[in-house]
Amino acid sequence: MRGQLDGHRVAFLAADGVEQDELVEPRRAVEAAGGSTELLSIALGEIQAYRGDVDAEDRFPVDLLVGRADLDSYDGLILPGGALGPDRLRTDDHAVAFVRHAMHIGKPVAAIGHGPWLLIEAGAVSGRTLTSWPSLRTDIVNAGGTYVNEKVVVDRNLVTSRGTADLHSFCTALVGKFTQQPEAVGWR
């Protein structure tokens, strides 16, 4: 993967409660492929990561508020999971608008675990096939998407995965997708 993402800048959108490995491993994959990463959130300072939504792990410095971020300055967007972080993000208008706009313009987006909650809140899953943490199946179907229980699913500009057990497949797929040019198709 070395060099595949040279010159690419990738945004990670996360909040307190993010699943540690679902933030750390994709960041490592992007950086190992030569890309740079920036952590966006809904509050400045640091976000607290967890393992399994209950065990506090590391804290990560926030680079920029999502409400001040310019989507055009990123080559891709990653939405890590954990039940707590995405639940906080989906109630923030700036976070939802950022995700909605990324999907609308066909920017490469990758979401794992509970990360697709943001896609649902942004109205961006209708007509899409995706996977997620199993408890989101009904939410995806009710939002007009097709849920499949697979390690990783690629649907146009969107890469989704079930969770930490599938991180290797997720990271490989997102690096591959992020090397491609953004698609000129919206989600509507």
Structure tokens at 75: 């080559």
Contacts 24+ apart (CB under 8 A), 143-150: 145/120
Active site residues: 114
Coil, strand or helix: which one is 24?
helix
CA distance 81 to 95: 14
CA distance 188 to 85: 27
CA distance 71 to 25: 22
Other beta carbons within 10 angstroms of residue 93's beta carbon come to 10
- Any bridge partners for residue 37, and if so which? 10
CA distance 160 to 166: 10
Contact 49, 18 (CB under 8 A): yes
